[in-house]
Amino acid sequence: LGLGMLEALHRAVDLIEEHEGVRLDLGELPQEEIVYDLLCRADTVGLFQVESRAQMGTLPRVQPRCFYDLVIEVALIRPGPIQGQAVNPYIRRRRGEEPVTYLHPRLEPILERTLGVPLFQEQLMEMAVAVAGFSPAEADELRQAMAAKRSEVRMARLKGRFYAGMANYDIVGPDADHLWDALSAFANFGFPESHSVSFAHLVYCSAWLKVHYPAAFLASLLNAQPLGFWSPQSLVADAQRHGVTVLRPDVQSSRATSTLEHHESGTAVRLGLATVRGVQEAAAHRIVDGAPWVTMEDLARRAELRQSHLEALAAAGALDSLGRSRRGLLWEAGAASQNTKDRLPGMVTGTTAPALRPTSEFERVADDMWAL
């Protein structure tokens, strides 16, 4: 699977090594109570798989306290389990609000880890082996046939074999019908446990980084966009609520992508130039390679920027280091963008802005919403 979170985690590990001198091995992260505390209170903006509203609503009820709890959490909040009405029974049993029961005593060893509620495709196969004497190959064929339901002949053959196998364990009549119906319904939504384990590992890694290296985690998420449920603005706001200092993009000091800087408050995130509306990585790299900049005209000419680039950079505050007001910079953007390399000799454009009132706080917020 090509998962954007894999890129984000890779970027985070590299940033931490570059700026903190620590090389993390994500396969060896310690299991920590503080990380599960974060998950239990649904403080999960930016985390893999558990940042949706549905997951945020479920995590405080499930209260995951170990890795396998995350494995179940990943499998639980999916269209299949929700449609199959498996979510609430599991949560009630998890919270001690209803007893744990099993479809048949022979299924207890298989369903014990999910409190009697079948969630995983592997459990379907184990159930077929336990109650019908299927071989592993036959159980996998049953799983595939139930999920696809494309061949009535194939399903009839497997159903006959399943009922014959159950009869060997004295499971007949309504009990046999109930087990077959339960497996048929479950086959529509069972999630591979192997996938869920892999996903749960990424959940824990992302949560661990958010707890211990929130600045690097934010920068990596921004650099891996588009990713997840939340917009970059929401990710930044969440990181700021967690004490992360986020610095504006700056044509003098930013890289093309977001990175880390030492700051009086600790490690801060410096937004990359490519986070500015309409500024592609190629243009961002030209700005980085040509720095430092003294005038808007020089920036427009050598970095080959259009008026839309300059206006977006000015609105985002990325040109504040040129020493002029935002409104003045926006005015200059139109004039400076006309001084291109292919302009006819002798043509002159006025670049001195008239007296302009400063931008208000409301206007600066609106500019941020538009440009970043």
Enumerate the domain spans of the chain.
Answer: 24-193, 245-371
pLDDT of residue 200: 95
pLDDT of residue 178: 83
pLDDT of residue 229: 86
Domain 245-371 CATH class label: mainly alpha
How would you write the pLDDT of the chain (372 residues) with one tens digit per residue? Answer: 557 899 999 999 999 999 989 999 999 999 999 999 999 999 999 999 899 898 999 999 999 999 999 999 998 887 667 766 778 889 999 999 999 988 888 889 999 999 988 888 888 889 889 988 989 998 888 877 776 655 677 778 888 888 999 898 888 898 888 888 877 777 766 788 999 999 999 999 999 999 999 999 999 999 998 888 899 999 999 999 999 999 999 989 899 999 999 888 788 999 999 998 888 889 999 999 988 888 888 888 888 888 888 888 888 888 888 877 777 777 677 666 665 555 555 554 555 655 555 666 656 666 667 666
pLDDT of residue 38: 97
Q: Are strands 266-270 and 246-247 parallel, antiparallel or unpaired?
A: parallel
